[in-house]
Amino acid sequence: MVINRRISRLMYSHRCIEGAAVQAYRDHGIGIAHGMKIHYVVTDARQYRVEPAWCAALFDLGYYRELIDEAWAEISVVFSRGRS
């Protein structure tokens, strides 16, 4: 359930999962730089709780379900072409 992102911003003006991931790295003593790849797991999307991949024990099933549903909605069009 690890999400991989390349960091483009070091500061976030609003609460978001990516900002929480950057902060989680900082909380573990890891310096963040532009272009750096981070690997994290969302443990509670509603509370913006994220753990670096190496120490995550749980994940937010509902959040990942939504990601999968969104991805399926985007690609399912390809599988339905030609069917009438």
Domains held by the chain: number: 1
The residue length of the chain stands at 84
Q: In terms of residue numbers, what domain contains 17?
A: 3-80
The pLDDT confidence band at residue 83, using thresholds 50, 70 and 90, is low
What is the DSSP pairing of strand 37-44 with strand 3-6? antiparallel
Under 8 Å between Cβ of 48 and 67: no
- Virtual CA dihedral for 66, 67, 72, 75, nearest 10 degrees? 150
**Given a cut of 90, is residue 80 above it in pLDDT?**
no
CATH assignment at residue 21: 1.10.132.60
SS3 content of the chain, % helix, strand, coil (to 5): 40, 20, 40
Q: Is residue 36's pLDDT more than 70?
A: yes
Of the listed ranges 7-21, 25-39, 40-54, the least confidently predicted one is 7-21
Q: Which amino acid is at 82?
A: G
Beta-carbon-side half-sphere exposure of residue 29 (alpha carbons within 13 Å) = 0
Query: Region 48-64: what's the mean pLDDT?
Result: 96
Give the pTM.
0.85
Average pLDDT over residues 48-66: 96
Residue 84 has pLDDT above 60, yes or no: no
* Per-residue pLDDT at 77: 85
